[in-house]
Structures are given as structure tokens and as C-alpha cells.
């Protein structure tokens, strides 16, 4: 006999509210991705608007000395949204007064007083904007094609098999071998899909040979183009002869006049032998510094780069209209208003968290800013998390794809985390050990290069006891040749 009964169990579970999820997602975005998110939100939410007057008035980023004020962290250490109504816990400059701030939601980060300014403030480094990606360009065209799900997946397979120059050099049989056996893909079926991809822009894409690439581009022209038929004939049977200087012989083989040949030749010259070259080999993202570091007195101080801080606030007119309508909080307009408030507070929280983590890193690695890699200390995410009372995953999100402009260049926040090497009873940063090895090898005599064993002994004299294989591993990671290669190079130089 089966007996059914009810049991009551209690437990704790973290509820991931939409606001908290949004805050976490904003935190892990890079500066470029955050700017895209900001533009999309501004275009979709009428309650948010920019305040460019703040940029014009010289408003800058907050100093890290005040970064710890008003920071709220939930029980799991994640960055939590503010809960004090509509007002943000905004950090003001020492000389600011309460009258300088709006009583509605706004986002402003002010700079330290003028007396704290450094004379050698580093500027954020901006690289070239991202180039269009060939693969994304082709997949976008595939997205608007009315094809079956099976053909769409096969087309994606062809697109991802293309070389950076736009050619398909992988045989169709090998592509079929990549497909699951249960799908039973046939060569004829994949050939049809290949012709679909070859119809995409730019013309000539997914060709398997130069001849096919040129024919695809010529076939994309109007049929009544002068010299088109002759150009196609040349590509099919006389492409090799076109590269020779014996033009009269080619004219006799084609049976055409000089004028007809000139028209056909210009059409061929107008084709691109590498249609994917215009897109570049891979996507290039531009990098913007999220944090700037400068020395104020005897202390290295981090601050948010003012160029990445958006000047946004709630539209007062729209907010007043919603307040006048009773029961509008649950309406779509009221939801937009609530989302706008969440966004402003989460953005504020994003920059506060980044600043706190950055300053903790700077405090830990202050000797690096004075002496470089050789003074780098071992550091792991857990140490920063424990210092700030955050969860380790939060620190990981903050340090991913975030950059710091220092007097030694633009560095990713992850750069300052380095594993440790046990040495004579104390821990030493692996990055510092690599820097010492490079320093030793750079200063060696060219005629008498140092072996890895000798380098290990020299490190031991400096109090860093590591094994020879560790020296070899670090030397290889810095692309420094072995002692035999360096000795041979020195002998060849002397002989020359």
C-alpha cells in the first residue's frame, strides 16, 4: 500500500530580482559595450535624457578617497542597487554644497578639489573604431533569407569555414564530416547552400579558386555590360595567359580586337582577388580607459575616467506628468519610469564598484607604479574581495574588460593579478620573477650568455629561489631564445 503525505521544508534562496540582474549585467560590460547599452536605453526610454551641460562645465570623475561612502553590498557580495527612493547617494566634491545637486535621480561624478590635481594627468587612449566583421556581415544577410532551419545551419557552417580573405579552401567533403552523422548531409545539398552563400555581398565571397572568385564578381554585373562575355571567357580558359606579356598571342587565341580586349581587361581588373580583405581578418575593438591613476602627494589615487561617465538624468517634465496621474505606477508609462530610475542607480553603482576595486588594486600594487613589473606583488581576486567585503565573482566581473590608464601605459585590470612563486619562505609575484629574468638576460655578455641554471643561481642570490625548469618556462613565455641559440647568434655576429 502506497501512502502519500505532505512534508514542509524550509530553506534560504537568493532571489535575483530584475533590478539586481540588470545591475550585475551592467557591471561586467566593457566601456564600449556600456556605451552601446546606454545609447539603446536612451533611445527606448523617454524618461532618460542626456545633460551635456555637465560635460561642458568641466565635471570630472570622483576621487577614490570618497569611493567607499554610500556603497551597498548584498549578502552575497554582489553590487546592490540603492533603495533610498528616487535620490542617488551621489558623491560630491569637497567644495560642493547640497544646493548643487538635483533632488531627482541624476548621475554625476565630481572631481577632487583643484588643489589635488596632478600636473601629469594621463589621458584615456582611444584606438581606431571597430572594423566591420566579414562573418557578422554574411550572417546578417543569411538572417533575412527565407530558408529552412537545416539549410540555415549548413550556411552558417560554410560561413564560419571561410578564410579571412573570403575564400572557402575547405573541401565540401570535410565540411560534411563536421556534421553529425545522423543528419546525412549530401554533397549536392551542401553545394546548393554554398551557392546561396556565394550570392551574398561582397561579390566573390566563398569562392574556391581565383577563377571562381572572378566569375562570381563578373556574374554580378549587368548582362549588357560591354566586354562582359569576353571577360568571362578569358577567366575560364586564359587566366594564366593574361599574366604573360604576350598580348598579341592572347588576342589571336581569343579572336578579338584591341578595343574589345581592353574593355574585358578593365572588367577583370575591377574585380577583387580577395573579397574578404576589406573586412580585416578579425574584429578589432577599441579600448577606452575606465580608470585613471595619478600620484597625489605620496599616494597613488584612482579615479573614474570622466570621458566614460554618462551625463544623464530623469526628464522632470515627464516625471511630473506621471505623478499627477493616480494609479499610473502599474501602467506601461509607470514601468518605463521605474526602469529609468533603476538604470540611473545601477549605472551609478557600476562606477562606484569599479572605482572601489580599482583603488584597492592600486593600493595593493602601489610599488608597481613606482618601479614597474619588477615590484609587482602576488595578488588574487579573493584578496580584493575580502578587503572590500565583496563576492569574488563581483571582483571578477569588474576586472574583466576594464582598463586603467597609468603612467606606464594602458593596462587591463586583470594585469595586476599575478600568481605567486614560493621563494625562501615568502611569496613572490610570478610577473616580478619574469621581469627579473628579463633584466638578468638583457644585461648578460653577448659572448657568454647565461644558462637557465646560472640564472636560477643569480635569482637565489637575490633571495628568489626557483627551479631551473621554472626559469626555462618563464624565459620561453617571454620568447627569449635558449642559451645555445643566443650563443650561436653571438658567434655569427662576431664572424660577420
pLDDT score of 436: 81
User: Which pLDDT tens digit goes with each residue over 190-201?
Assistant: 999 999 999 998
Cα–Cα distance, 440 to 481 (Å, whole number): 14
Question: Which residue, of 247, 279, 311, is where some domain finishes?
Answer: 279
Cα–Cα distance, 152 to 148 (Å, whole number): 6
Query: In terms of pLDDT, which residue wins out, 488 or 260?
Result: 260
Considering the domain architecture, whether residues 368 and 385 belong to the same structural domain is answered as yes
Residues 6+ apart with CB under 8 A from 28: 397, 398, 400, 401
Q: Is residue 402 part of a domain?
A: no
Q: Is residue 13 part of a domain?
A: no
- If you average pLDDT over each of 14-23, 363-372, 422-431, 455-464, which comes out highest? 363-372
Q: What are residue 406's DSSP bridge partners? A: 409
Among residues 451, 472, 468, which one has the least CA distance to residue 460? 468
Residue 492 has pLDDT above 60, yes or no: no
pLDDT category, 164, cuts 50, 70, 90? confident
pLDDT category, 67, cuts 50, 70, 90? very low
pLDDT score of 291: 94
Q: Is residue 353 part of a domain?
A: yes
pLDDT category, 361, cuts 50, 70, 90? very high
pLDDT category, 119, cuts 50, 70, 90? very low
pLDDT score of 106: 42
| Rg, C-alpha atoms of the chain | 32
pLDDT score of 489: 66
pLDDT score of 495: 53
Considering the domain architecture, whether residues 155 and 273 belong to the same structural domain is answered as yes
pLDDT score of 126: 37
Residue 304 has pLDDT above 90, yes or no: yes
User: Which pLDDT tens digit goes with each residue over 460-489?
Assistant: 777 777 788 888 888 887 888 887 777 766
Residue 218 has pLDDT above 80, yes or no: yes
Question: Which residue, of 259, 279, 299, is where some domain finishes?
Answer: 279
Query: Region 409-422: what's the mean pLDDT?
Result: 79
Q: Is residue 403 part of a domain?
A: no
User: Which pLDDT tens digit goes with each residue over 100-115?
Assistant: 323 334 444 433 333 3
Q: Is residue 66 part of a domain?
A: yes
The SS3 call for residue 427 is: strand
Query: In terms of pLDDT, which residue wins out, 491 or 316?
Result: 316
Considering the domain architecture, whether residues 314 and 429 belong to the same structural domain is answered as no
pLDDT score of 21: 76
Considering the domain architecture, whether residues 195 and 219 belong to the same structural domain is answered as yes
Q: How far is residue 277 CA from its own chain's centroid?
A: 22
Considering the domain architecture, whether residues 157 and 268 belong to the same structural domain is answered as yes
Q: Is residue 475 part of a domain?
A: yes
Q: With pLDDT > 90 as the criterion, what percentage of the chain qualifies?
A: 13
Considering the domain architecture, whether residues 149 and 254 belong to the same structural domain is answered as yes
pLDDT score of 5: 62
pLDDT score of 81: 35
Query: Region 431-446: what's the mean pLDDT?
Result: 81
Query: Region 201-220: what's the mean pLDDT?
Result: 90
pLDDT category, 354, cuts 50, 70, 90? very high
Considering the domain architecture, whether residues 147 and 45 belong to the same structural domain is answered as no
> What CATH number is associated with residue 477?
1.10.10.60
Cα dihedral 437, 438, 440, 445 sign: positive
Q: With pLDDT > 70 as the criterion, what percentage of the chain qualifies?
A: 73
Considering the domain architecture, whether residues 205 and 296 belong to the same structural domain is answered as no
pLDDT score of 424: 56
pLDDT score of 359: 95
Residue 155 has pLDDT above 80, yes or no: yes
Q: Is residue 4 part of a domain?
A: no
Cα–Cα distance, 397 to 416 (Å, whole number): 15
Strands 48-50 and 312-314: antiparallel
Query: In terms of pLDDT, which residue wins out, 316 or 303?
Result: 303
Considering the domain architecture, whether residues 273 and 294 belong to the same structural domain is answered as no
Cα–Cα distance, 135 to 282 (Å, whole number): 9
Compute φ and ψ for 293, nearest 5 degrees: -120, 135
Cα–Cα distance, 373 to 295 (Å, whole number): 18
Residue 156 has pLDDT above 50, yes or no: yes
Considering the domain architecture, whether residues 85 and 145 belong to the same structural domain is answered as no
Q: Is residue 124 part of a domain?
A: no
Cα–Cα distance, 221 to 224 (Å, whole number): 8
Quick one: DSSP state of residue 63? B
Number of domains in the chain: 3
Alpha helices in 325-463 (DSSP H): 332-364, 366-371, 381-388, 392-399, 430-442, 452-461
Query: Region 210-224: what's the mean pLDDT?
Result: 89
Residue 363 has pLDDT above 70, yes or no: yes
pLDDT score of 97: 32
Instruction: Count the Cβ atoms, other than its own, within 10 Å of residue 412.
Output: 15
Question: Which residue, of 260, 279, 298, is where some domain finishes?
Answer: 279
Cα–Cα distance, 492 to 380 (Å, whole number): 45
**Residue 61, preceding bond cis, omega within 30 degrees?**
no
Considering the domain architecture, whether residues 275 and 292 belong to the same structural domain is answered as no
Between the alpha carbon of residue 62 and those of residues 90, 94, 104, 359, the distances in Å are: 10, 11, 20, 12
Q: What is the pTM of this model?
A: 0.50
Residue 358 has pLDDT above 90, yes or no: yes
Considering the domain architecture, whether residues 389 and 453 belong to the same structural domain is answered as no
Residues 6+ apart with CB under 8 A from 410: 125, 287, 289, 403, 404
pLDDT category, 9, cuts 50, 70, 90? low
Structural domain boundaries, residue 233: 134-279
pLDDT score of 182: 80
pLDDT score of 221: 87
pLDDT score of 478: 81
Q: Whole-number mean pLDDT of the chain?
A: 75
Amino acid at each position: 500500500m502506497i501512502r502519500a503525505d505532505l512534508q514542509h521544508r524550509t530553506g534560504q534562496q537568493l532571489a535575483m530580482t530584475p533590478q539586481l540582474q540588470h545591475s550585475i549585467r551592467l557591471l561586467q560590460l566593457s566601456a564600449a559595450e556600456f556605451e552601446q547599452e546606454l545609447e539603446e536605453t536612451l533611445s527606448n526610454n523617454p524618461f532618460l535624457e542626456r545633460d551635456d551641460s555637465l560635460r561642458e562645465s568641466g565635471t570630472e570623475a570622483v576621487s577614490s578617497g570618497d569611493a567607499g561612502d554610500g556603497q551597498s553590498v548584498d549578502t552575497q557580495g554582489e553590487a546592490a542597487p540603492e533603495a533610498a527612493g528616487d535620490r542617488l547617494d551621489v558623491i560630491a566634491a569637497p567644495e560642493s554644497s547640497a544646493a548643487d545637486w538635483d533632488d531627482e535621480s541624476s548621475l554625476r561624478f565630481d572631481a577632487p578639489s583643484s588643489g589635488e590635481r596632478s600636473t601629469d594627468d594621463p589621458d584615456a587612449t582611444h584606438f581606431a573604431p571597430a572594423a566591420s566583421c566579414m562573418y557578422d556581415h554574411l550572417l546578417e544577410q543569411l538572417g533575412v533569407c527565407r530558408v529552412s532551419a537545416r539549410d540555415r545551419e549548413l550556411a552558417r557552417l560554410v560561413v564560419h569555414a571561410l578564410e579571412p580573405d573570403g575564400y572557402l579552401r575547405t573541401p565540401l567533403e570535410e565540411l560534411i564530416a563536421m556534421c553529425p552523422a545522423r543528419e546525412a548531409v549530401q554533397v549536392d545539398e551542401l553545394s546548393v547552400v554554398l551557392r546561396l552563400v556565394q550570392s551574398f555581398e561582397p561579390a566573390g565571397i566563398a569562392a574556391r579558386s581565383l577563377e571562381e572568385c572572378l566569375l562570381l564578381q563578373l556574374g554580378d554585373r549587368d548582362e549588357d555590360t560591354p566586354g562582359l562575355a569576353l571577360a568571362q571567357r578569358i577567366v575560364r580558359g586564359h587566366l594564366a595567359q593574361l599574366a604573360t606579356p604576350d598580348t598579341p598571342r592572347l588576342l589571336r587565341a581569343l579572336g578579338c580586337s584591341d578595343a574589345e580586349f581592353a574593355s574585358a581587361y578593365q572588367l577583370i581588373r575591377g574585380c577583387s582577388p580577395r573579397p574578404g580583405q576589406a573586412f580585416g581578418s578579425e574584429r578589432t575593438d577599441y579600448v577606452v580607459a575606465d580608470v585613471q591613476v595619478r600620484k597625489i602627494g605620496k599616494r597613488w589615487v584612482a579615479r573614474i575616467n570622466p570621458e566614460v561617465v554618462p551625463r544623464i538624468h530623469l526628464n522632470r517634465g515627464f516625471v511630473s506628468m506621471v505623478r499627477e496621474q493616480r494609479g499610473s505606477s502599474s501602467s506601461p508609462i509607470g514601468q518605463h519610469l521605474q526602469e529609468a530610475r533603476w538604470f540611473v542607480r545601477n549605472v551609478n553603482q557600476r562606477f562606484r564598484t569599479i572605482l572601489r576595486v580599482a583603488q584597492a588594486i592600486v593600493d595593493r600594487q602601489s610599488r608597481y607604479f613606482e618601479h614597474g613589473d619588477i615590484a609587482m606583488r602576488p595578488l588574487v581576486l579573493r584578496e580584493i574581495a575580502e578587503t572590500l567585503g565583496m563576492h569574488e565573482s563581483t571582483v571578477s566581473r569588474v576586472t574583466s574588460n576594464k582598463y586603467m590608464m597609468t603612467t606606464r601605459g594602458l593596462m587591463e585590470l586583470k594585469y595586476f593579478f599575478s600568481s605567486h612563486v614560493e621563494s625562501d619562505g615568502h611569496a613572490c609575484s610570478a610577473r616580478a620573477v619574469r621581469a627579473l629574468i628579463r633584466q638578468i638576460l638583457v644585461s648578460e655578455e653577448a659572448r657568454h650568455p647565461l644558462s637557465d641554471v646560472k640564472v636560477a643561481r643569480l635569482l637565489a642570490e637575490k633571495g628568489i629561489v626557483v627551479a631551473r625548469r621554472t626559469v626555462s618556462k618563464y624565459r620561453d613565455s617571454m620568447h627569449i631564445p635558449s642559451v645555445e641559440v643566443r650563443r650561436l647568434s653571438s658567434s655569427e655576429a662576431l664572424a660577420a
